[in-house]
Chains A and B, each alone.
Chain A
Amino acid sequence: MNLVELTNEGLYCSAGDFYIDPWRPVERALITHGHADHARMGADQYFCTPTCEPILRHRLGQDIRLTAKRYGEKFQLGNAYVSFHPAGHVLGSAQVRIEVGGEVWVISGDYKRSPDPSCEPFEVVPCDVFISEATFALPVYSWPTSASLAREILEWWNSYPEGPSLLFGYAFGKTQRILAELVKLTDRTIYLHGACHELTKIYRASGVELSPTELVSEQTKDFDFSGQLILAPPSAHRSAWMKRFKAPQTAFASGWMQIRGNRRRRGYERGFVMSDHADWQDLISTIQDTGARRIFLTHGSTEVLQRYLNEELRLDARPLLTQFEGEAEA
């Protein structure tokens, strides 16, 4: 009997009668982090970490029933002992550890190992069964550090005083990570698209140190953005919103930028290889570090990683068909 099973509603633990990141309305939902494919509306009761709480309330409604549990704090649900552990993905992101009768399962949610000043660092949790994401599970993916990327971003920004520098990246996670890296290098103000605003406020309120920001929409009509850095979500690229910037240079921060063809196809001039997911080496070393006997894989290139774990590392790994989406290619 598996401790966690895949049902129509999502990943379900019958011993504790709760779901992890369910995609349909359920009674009890444990949420690994606030990204839309993991945190959905409609649960009667939510559990998450304290830093995840304001994000969840912002996204799902202030009046949801929510219980916050600190990292490492054990609590009982039915016959299961449950705890959250840092996943290093975004602020408040957690792995879920479930223990029933001496058997331990860990659901990773989304995770990364590279240092990120905007969130709690990943922690290895030993377990019997590990459910891992596999968004970037090909050996061509290996990330530079975000500190070195920040220097590249700053250089790119400084190289173009003639016009605005538009950097696209997720409004939640990527934007704040960039702000948290850049504040170490410069005290200049950075301008934000409206979609990045609320979450940036939440990060700041949680005590994450970020570059000073202002909203693009609050500048006067004749404000000159030349030489300024503007952060915006990918959906704003080539939208009407972009019209107010004269002759901008554009870039996209995403793990997919590792491949030249991706950047060219999307029409960005510059790509910064910055992802909030684990790269190939980190996926493999994390899976090994947990000491898990069995591994289930979600998100992305599960077949490749599965075959590699089976054939090269002799590990029992299989795919799990969830509805998580990984890093969208927008």
Chain B
Amino acid sequence: MERFAKMFERVDQTTGINEKIAAMAEYFRQEPIEEKIWAVLLLRGRIKQTPLTSRALRASFARLSQAPQWLLDECYAHVGDTGETLALLMSSGIMKLGGGTQERSLHQWLTEECPGLRQLDDQSLDDKLLQFWSSTRPEHRFLLNKILTGAFRVGVSDRLVLKALAQSSGESEAVWHQWLLGKSERDFEELKRVFLGQAPRRETLQAVPFCLAAPLDNAFFESEQPESYFAEWKWDGIRAQIIKKADKVWIWSRGEDMITESFPEIAQMAGSWPEDTILDGEMLVWGDDHPKDFHLLQRRLGRSKITSAILKEAPATFVAYDFLHLNGEDLTHLPLELRRRHLERFVGENPRDRLRLSPLISFQSWQELKNLQQTARERGAEGLMLKRKSADYTGGRKRGVWWKFKVEPYTLDAVLLYAQAGSGKRSNLFTDYTFALWRDQELVPFAKAYSGLDNKEIEELDRWIRRNTKEKFGPVRSLNLEQVFEIAFEGIAPSPRHKSGIAVRFPRILRWRKDKKPPDADRLEDAWKLIAAPV
């Protein structure tokens, strides 16, 4: 672990991207294959069966150290990270430990020491962990704890790991991406072949860089002509490209995640498409003629298995709006008008139960379009998209090709109810807030927000929170009811899973309403009024 720790230290102690990559690449060049594989899995957070839960680790530490539980809880809340808190506490002498020097490789830790920890009873687990901690050098205990809990989010993005692998091997980032796609410790043997250079170098099926929309500015309507643009509804779904090639289907989200496994019904449908086809569009759950609750699809992401119950309750539909490849032909250089014609023909010729065409909105003048935009919410859309008919499909953020014309967000004034420390960079500031609305004489939580304040305000609020804590429940603090915030959000829908009965989409703090007191905050009825007629 020594060399892994050194590499981690180098990565951690620089803010320069290139130095981070260089440190990892150097490590990859020197390590034996097993070490490399574990390092990659750890850095990318791809260990599926973590040796222990954070909770189990904390419980064992509490038993071993015999420190009061409340004191440990204070420390976790302050530091914001279990592995780090425990490592700090061990160095502070709250628990006497030898400063061990026993060196184990990552491979030894993960294949010899860690398996089976979950099955141990308390006493045996404590013995084992005490032996681990005592025999590990103090400066490595943080990493050991991270390995034990698998919670290895330490500020290196997936991209950087791939770049480092590319730099150390001569294979491209894209090839590595393909090789490592969806791989966990369960694919160890396959990963070994990859690192031995025995894996087939498959052609990568990367998504085409997504064409992104810029928000409309005021000058737009003065300088542009209505007849140069297509208008479509802007759907609030999951933006995705579907790729059919070599008899396989890949679905990529805009965040460059592979989401094929989350949408088996769509993948099955696309399996019948002609060879080398790429469509761009939006994944939605479609009702009669409107999309339905956005939560239904969000829930699919991050699940390992999509059950038939989910498929039945909320089947996905792909609403297509662009055509990038057809029968191996690259269409991205064609003007949108032509791509659209190809797309219409394609949708007409292929099975349509899970595939729809994003309809074009006809309009004569900008004024007419602005009036239509006002009806977006009733149609389950969050605004309009305007796309220049003559433009090719330019990935990246080239302005002036696609525009989004969003309706104003909803806003409500809500009372700050709870606060919790953030994670990562904000680990010892209170930055995760829960806001509440009135129901009769009671405040009911309705939204959580993490962003919207600037650093100064965050620090000011943090100080206020520390002085105005009523009670602590683990890391959560309940607060004196004094602060009112204006909360903005994009969507709102009934949700029996939430105590308030509603769920909001993309909530964020718009401003700190220091001019208002809790009695001035909005009521839950006000939120219900925002929910459009059921669709």
**When the two chains form their complex, are residues A261 and B424 in contact, meaning their CB atoms are under 8 A apart?**
yes
Nearest-CB residue, chain A, relative to B431: A265
**When the two chains form their complex, are residues A261 and B14 in contact, meaning their CB atoms are under 8 A apart?**
no
Nearest-CB residue, chain B, relative to A262: B428
With A140-B78, A260-B84, A308-B71 known as contacts, the answer to whether A265 contacts B425 (CB < 8 A) is yes
List 6 tightest A-B contacts by C-beta distance, closest first. A261-B427, A142-B92, A140-B88, A265-B425, A264-B425, A139-B94
Determine how close the nearest CB of chain A comes to the CB of B56; give it in whole angstroms: 20
A304-B71, A308-B68 known, 16 other contacts, Cβ within 8 Å? A138-B75, A139-B75, A139-B89, A140-B85, A141-B92, A142-B88, A142-B93, A259-B78, A260-B84, A260-B427, A261-B81, A267-B15, A269-B15, A307-B71, A312-B68, A329-B459
Rounded to whole angstroms, the CA-CA distance of A229 and B79 in the bound complex is 31
Q: Is A258 an interface position by the 8 A CB rule?
A: yes
With A139-B71, A139-B75, A308-B71 known as contacts, the answer to whether A261 contacts B80 (CB < 8 A) is yes
Nearest-CB residue, chain B, relative to A329: B459
A residues whose Cβ falls under 8 Å from a Cβ of B: 138-142, 249, 258-262, 264-265, 267, 269-270, 279-281, 301, 304, 307-308, 311-312, 329
Q: Is B13 an interface position by the 8 A CB rule?
A: yes
**When the two chains form their complex, are residues B92 and A140 in contact, meaning their CB atoms are under 8 A apart?**
yes
**When the two chains form their complex, are residues A269 and B13 in contact, meaning their CB atoms are under 8 A apart?**
yes
Interfacial chain A residues near B13, Cβ < 8 Å: 269-270
**When the two chains form their complex, are residues B92 and A280 in contact, meaning their CB atoms are under 8 A apart?**
yes
Partner of B428, one of A261, A307, A308: A261
Interface centre among A139, A262, A280, by most B CB within 10 Å?
A139
Rounded to whole angstroms, the CA-CA distance of A222 and B74 in the bound complex is 51
Chain B 56-93, CB within 8 Å of chain A: the 1/0 string? Answer: 00000000000110110011001111001100110111
**When the two chains form their complex, are residues A269 and B93 in contact, meaning their CB atoms are under 8 A apart?**
no
Q: Is B426 an interface position by the 8 A CB rule?
A: yes
Q: Is B209 an interface position by the 8 A CB rule?
A: no
Rounded to whole angstroms, the CA-CA distance of A315 and B429 in the bound complex is 30
Interface centre among A140, A141, A258, by most B CB within 10 Å?
A140
Nearest-CB residue, chain B, relative to A250: B15
**When the two chains form their complex, are residues A269 and B79 in contact, meaning their CB atoms are under 8 A apart?**
no
Q: Is B155 an interface position by the 8 A CB rule?
A: yes
Determine how close the nearest CB of chain A comes to the CB of B461; give it in whole angstroms: 14
Interfacial chain A residues near B427, Cβ < 8 Å: 259-262, 265
**When the two chains form their complex, are residues B68 and A265 in contact, meaning their CB atoms are under 8 A apart?**
no
Rounded to whole angstroms, the CA-CA distance of A139 and B427 in the bound complex is 17
Interfacial chain A residues near B92, Cβ < 8 Å: 139-142, 279-281
Interfacial chain B residues near A140, Cβ < 8 Å: 75, 78-79, 85, 88-89, 92
With A139-B67, A141-B92, A281-B93 known as contacts, the answer to whether A265 contacts B426 (CB < 8 A) is yes
With A259-B79, A261-B81 known as contacts, the answer to whether A142 contacts B426 (CB < 8 A) is no
In chain B between 393 and 438, which residues have their CB closer than 8 angstroms to a CB of chain A?
A: 424-429
Interfacial chain A residues near B79, Cβ < 8 Å: 140, 259, 261
Question: Could you give 29 example pairs across A and B, Cβ below 8 Å?
Answer: A138-B74, A138-B78, A139-B89, A139-B92, A140-B78, A140-B89, A140-B92, A141-B88, A142-B92, A142-B93, A258-B88, A259-B78, A259-B84, A259-B88, A259-B428, A260-B12, A261-B80, A261-B424, A261-B428, A262-B428, A264-B155, A265-B425, A265-B429, A267-B15, A270-B13, A281-B93, A304-B74, A308-B68, A308-B71
